[in-house]
Structure 1
Amino acid sequence: MRDTSVTIQDVARAAGVSRQTVSNVLNTPAIVRAETRDRVQQAIDRMGYAPHASARRLRTRRSATIGIHLDPYAGGISGVVLDRFVHALTEHAGERGLRVLVYAASDHDEEIRRMADLVDGGDVDAVVITGTAYGDRRIDWLTQRAVPFVSFGRPWGADDVDDPTYLWVDVDGATGTRAATAHALNRGPRVAFLGWPAGSATGDDRERGWREAMAAAGAPAELRLVAEETVSEARDRVAELLSARAVDAVVCASDTLAVGAHVAAVAGHRPDLAIVGFDNTPAAEALGISSVEQLPELVAAGTLDLLMAGGPRIERRTPTPGEAHVLVEPRLVVR
């Protein structure tokens, strides 16, 4: 716990250095010798020293604030994942002496205008964007303006692991559905996949995990169902499947689709049908549906690690192979 009564002079005295050296450790650690820096940091940790945030912001001309766009409320079941991410980002940022500023925008054009206002006004030092796609104009704008940023979501073709163009964090969807499918195969080889129409990068990645697990088990990946992200359409597709084919389990690209599959299974007198969703929402938990947990807390921590590059503050840096991306492995929650 930080002690606001401890002053920078107290830390300097305990570490046997000058007040300026302590200030350098806090604000420009690279100019301080490693041995001295470690000694000062030990004194800070031991005494619980808490630098005055407002004074630091005035001195360094940094806001210590990260901006993030809040998507318009769209209802539904799976929309809580981004809410959890924003909440986790705010908590983790606070632990690192940073703040999160949430702003609204109806589309990418408006979001760019909002980012411009915040950056030009000195209100934010960095930005986190979500829902990235190929040709994303936000990425071009942020790159041209040299604004530090991280995206929650891969660029899907606009970036390369060996030659990264920007920093991103994502959840390994294929790994999640591979685990879900391997679990579902315990019920039998006839495992269907209920996903979105082809062309959704995230959806295609989750379908790939199902196909890979089916191939590894020597089972045919022929039961592929398509539905938009609605409970009613998912229910109808699974009801049609159950009336026409023998099915052991259904792996779904989202919990919304999984809820629809559950409704169809109950109505079709198939309470034994194994269903696995993706997102591990409260709806899946309430209905006892197994689901893949995205672990947004780890995504938030990875985002801050990339923004801060292991240091005490946000830094703009050139993406380098092996250090530009964080791919979080989700976990399967079995119910």
Structure 2
Amino acid sequence: MTTFPTVTDVALAAGVSRQTVSNVMNSPGIVRADTRERVQAAIAELGYRPHASARRLRTRRSSTIGIRLDPMIDGISGSVLDSFLHALTEQADRQGLRVLLFTATGPEDEITQLKRLNDGADVDGFVLTSTFAGDPRTTWLLENGISFVTFGRPWGVDDLDDPKHLWVDVDGWTGLHDATRAQQEAGARRIGYIGWPSPSGTGEDRRRGWRDAMLERNDVTEDELAALEVVTVDGVAEGTAAMQELRRTAGRLDAVLCASDSLALGAMIANPERVPVTGYDNTPVAAAIGLSSVDQSVDEVAAGVLELLTGEFGGKVHGAPESAEPRHRMVKPRLVVREFAAIPMEAPAPA
């Protein structure tokens, strides 16, 4: 029986991770030139065919991946998933795969759509987004033995060491920790945080990054830290109101970090003191208004999703071949620093 070189073989020959090999094939621009050349040389030497990694999916029924098209929330927050969808579609096309979009009104309706598409042999596997603890979609897919990968971790107690399904996620803790450290290194000590209310696995992950960085420096007490935080639902108007509350209750503010660019835009508006604000998601809006923001590296996320869906795991935890490779990918975000350009409301005239 003829055997073909695998992504693992290329990674071992080049002395890199499987994720790096996947990035070289799907998003070469995010890989350092010397590393990219080393991987390309290993591919040529071994005779590895990049499209072979998708053979498992292509030889099933439709060579098609299904993914729900999430509704746009405010034109800002939804742009991250929109960018991910574009990256996934472009990278899938390079592997000879198609992406089928569908809509659903909620998790239960999405399960109905998943069943319809699977029963009709319209897709060979699914990509899920916006995961949460106790997600019924992943439970249904696991129970029915259907291939899938999620953009978002299971949000269980032990999901890093014992993932209940294959997933790719962005390390929100690192994103906010790095953003906090950047402000601290610029001289800030009293750094406020505008985040989302619990329960929110993603929001709590980001909040911990800010909180840990603040406590590591011992610049504020636990009581002071509590006063530097405001929680609210996502949105520009909500960010404005949260910033106004921080200014009333937190005392002096040297900088403010936010769980999203929507909240950060709102915070910039209610900011007559021109306190530096940092967002999260690095949306086009952030680039347009000079807002520093944490970038989620969606090209790398898409590459990881496709690797887990089309490679040796085939989108399945149960029944997958024995492998020392992790069954998840944690992508490190990067802080994009821009020259701060506040757009504050006018401060009220003195009485």
TM-score calculated relative to the size of structure 1:
0.79
CA contact (8 A) 1:161 1:322 kept: no
Q: CA deviation at 1:72?
A: 2.3
Q: Which residue of 1 aligns with 2:332?
A: 329
Cα 1:209/1:316, change in 2 over 3 Å: closer
Q: Which residue of 1 aligns with 2:205?
A: 205
Aligned with 1:251 (options 248, 257, 263)? 257
Q: Distance in 2 between matches of 1:109 and 1:132?
A: 13
* Structure-to-structure mapping, 1:11-50, within 5 angstroms: 31-33=1-3
CA contact (8 A) 2:154 2:163 kept: no
1:329 maps to a residue whose letter is K
2:281 maps to a residue whose letter is D
Q: Distance in 1 between matches of 2:102 and 2:171?
A: 27
* Counterpart secondary structure, 1:187: coil
2:303 maps to a residue whose letter is A
2:279 maps to a residue whose letter is G
Q: Distance in 1 between matches of 2:63 and 2:189?
A: 53
* Counterpart secondary structure, 1:32: coil
CA contact (8 A) 1:193 1:225 kept: yes
Cα 1:134/1:183, change in 2 over 3 Å: same
Matched, 1:194 2:199: no
Larger radius of gyration: 1
Q: Distance in 2 between matches of 1:195 and 1:298?
A: 25
Cα 1:315/1:261, change in 2 over 3 Å: closer
Structure 2 unaligned spans of 5+:
10-42, 339-351
1:286 maps to a residue whose letter is A
Greater mean alpha carbon deviation, residues 142-151 or residues 222-231 = 222-231
Q: CA deviation at 1:159?
A: 5.3
* Alignment root-mean-square deviation, CA: 2.8
Query: Aligned residue pairs: how many?
Result: 289
CA contact (8 A) 2:148 2:315 kept: no
* Structure-to-structure mapping, 1:60-79, within 5 angstroms: 60-79=59-78
CA contact (8 A) 2:154 2:165 kept: no
TM-score calculated relative to the size of structure 2:
0.75
Cα 1:332/1:140, change in 2 over 3 Å: same
Matched, 1:177 2:176: yes
Q: Distance in 1 between matches of 2:177 and 2:83?
A: 24
* Counterpart secondary structure, 1:198: coil
Matched, 1:284 2:324: no
Q: Distance in 2 between matches of 1:315 and 1:188?
A: 45
1:134-192 per-position Cα deviation (integer Å, ceiling 9, x unaligned): 22111121111111100111111165333222101111001000011011122320101
2:94 maps to a residue whose letter is E
Q: Distance in 2 between matches of 1:301 and 1:278?
A: 21
Cα 1:42/1:253, change in 2 over 3 Å: closer
Greater mean alpha carbon deviation, residues 237-246 or residues 316-325 = 316-325
Q: Distance in 2 between matches of 1:76 and 1:330?
A: 22
1:281 maps to a residue whose letter is T
Cα 1:158/1:124, change in 2 over 3 Å: farther
CA contact (8 A) 1:187 1:249 kept: no
Q: Percent identity?
A: 47
Cα 1:184/1:97, change in 2 over 3 Å: same
* Counterpart secondary structure, 2:175: helix
* Structure-to-structure mapping, 1:1-335, within 5 angstroms: 31-33=1-3, 60-157=59-156, 160-185=159-184, 186-220=186-220, 221-222=225-226, 223-244=228-249, 245-265=251-271, 268=272, 270-271=273-274, 273-309=275-311, 314=314, 316-318=316-318, 322-335=325-338
Q: Distance in 2 between matches of 1:232 and 1:71?
A: 22
Cα 1:145/1:77, change in 2 over 3 Å: same
